[in-house]
Structure 1
Amino acid sequence: MLAVSKTKPINDIIAAYDAGQRQFGENYVQEGETKITTLATDYPDIEWHFIGPLQSNKTRIVAEHFDWMHTVSRDKIAQRLNDQRPNNKKPLNVCIQVNISQEDSKSGVDANQVAMLALTINQLPNLRLRGLMAIPTATADTQLQQQEFANLKTLFDQLQQQYPSIDTLSMGMSGDMDIAIANGSTMVRIGSAIFGER
């Protein structure tokens, strides 16, 4: 379970930590950087995940501070993250974001582009390809969501046969985590169900 702590104060993160949570997700680069540096000394075992859209001029912050990057959808971003990852850090864990709902308003690659991007990432020594991430259609139609999650799981299974490092299917949030888990999610991104509404 990834606790999505964007816009939440440091005290809320510490409270979740004290309850046993160790993985936190941030959507905004500068906000995430501030939280990471503030908590680094006293809470060194927190694992930080970047789960928001990333502009190429902000890749350095993610490369230098985060442990995971969930939203890689372009070769350029992958290359910059690789080049900017400090030598004293382990490879950055990355997930490819897939636009599984095929909505123009959503980031991510089309399903037919996943294999090529995975090949690129796998060749970059400072990145570690861990899996796929997606956000389904925001709808009350649970059958549609279920189908989109199932489609992503199929892609994940195909990719896993090629790359032994792949073990993470990041899908599902507070409102649809049950459907996501039923369709094979290994990581759900939960904000409001942990921290309350924003």
Structure 2
Amino acid sequence: MAAKNTQRNNNEITLLAVSKTKPSEDIIAAYEHGQREFGESYVQEAVDKIAQLHAYSDIIWHFIGPIQSNKSALVASNFDWVQSVDRLKIAKRLDSQRPEVMPPLNVLIQVNISAEEAKSGCHPDEIAELAQFIEQCTHLTLRGLMAIPAKTAVTQVQVQYFEQLQTCFDKLKTQYPHIDTLSMGMSNDVEAAISAGSTMVRIGTDIFGTRT
């Protein structure tokens, strides 16, 4: 519906079902309705689910939470995507810890687009340096940008944040034409994100219900 309201094609937008804190049974239920891409934020919880659901080999697992150095090896060896790379140290660890037998890890640079002190993400001015490093990594593939802007119910402000990230993405794409993913928008701001050009929305509550 959000795509239709903004006159965009559904095929341009990937739905990432954010399944953090939800049991494997909920993921299976979504899978049986055709969902294939799932996002997790807590490393050990996610690794346990991935092991439980190993028979569902076409699930694509995204890590979308902050990455602690002592958990980076688990992230590197279990996920298909990491959307929360925001500093060189983590990019280096993921590259060195990605198993040789696995394909390169798809990476999004997380940007702190609303400049919140307590929020993860690099400053927009740091994107270029981080992207340059990731492009040189053997076991990482740069796919685009991700952001979690400050919460607000004011649609105009939501759109403003997302358009700022879109500008960053367009600038990065001039140097790396292969990047294709702009991950922005959640249950409370999905329409604003899609109107601003999001290619991937991260939806939890509207799929699985409120977290306890």
* TM-score strictly above 0.5: yes
Structure possessing the higher relative contact order (Cα contacts under 8 Å, 6 or more residues apart): 2
The answer as to 2:90 corresponding to 1:80 is: no
Aligned partner letter, 1:161: T
Residue of structure 1 equivalent to 2:136: 123
CA distance in 1, matches of 2:52, 2:92: 28
The one-letter amino acid paired with 2:128 is A
SS in 1 for 2:185: strand
C-alpha displacement at 1:151, in angstroms?
Answer: 0.5
Structure 1 runs not aligned, ≥5 long: none
How many aligned positions are there?
Answer: 197
Using the size of structure 1 for normalisation, the TM-score is 0.98
Query: Which one of the candidate residues 30, 44, 50 is aligned to 1:36?
Result: 50
- For residues 81-113 of structure 1, give each alpha carbon's deviation from its aligned partner in whole angstroms, at most 9, with x where no partner exists: 000000110000000000000010111001111
2:192 and 2:141 mapped to 1: Cα distance? 28
| Cα deviations by residue, 1:139-193 (Å, 9 ceiling, x for unpaired) | 1222111111001001101111111331000000001000000000000000000
How many angstroms apart in 2 are the aligned matches of 1:24 and 1:181? 19
Structure 1 segment 41-80 matched on structure 2, within 5 A: 42-80=55-93
The DSSP-based 3-state class of the residue aligned with 2:164 is helix
Are the counterparts in 2 of residues 128 and 165 from structure 1 also a CA contact under 8 Å?
no
Question: Which blocks of at least 5 consecutive residues in structure 2 are unaligned?
Answer: 1-14
Structure 1: distance between partners of 2:116 and 2:104: 31
CA distance in 2, matches of 1:51, 1:193: 17
1:197 aligned to 2:210?
yes
Counterparts of residues 35-184 of structure 1 (less than 5 Å): 35-40=49-54, 42-184=55-197
Q: TM-score, structure 2 length as denominator?
A: 0.92
Structure 1 vs Structure 2: percent identity of aligned residues? 62
In the aligned structure 2, how far is the partner of 1:45 from the partner of 1:158? 33
- 1:172 alignment partner, SS class: coil
Tell me the C-alpha RMSD between the 2 structures: 0.6
Q: In structure 1, what residue type is equivalent to 2:74?
A: I
* Cα distance in structure 1, aligned partners of 2:178 and 2:97: 21
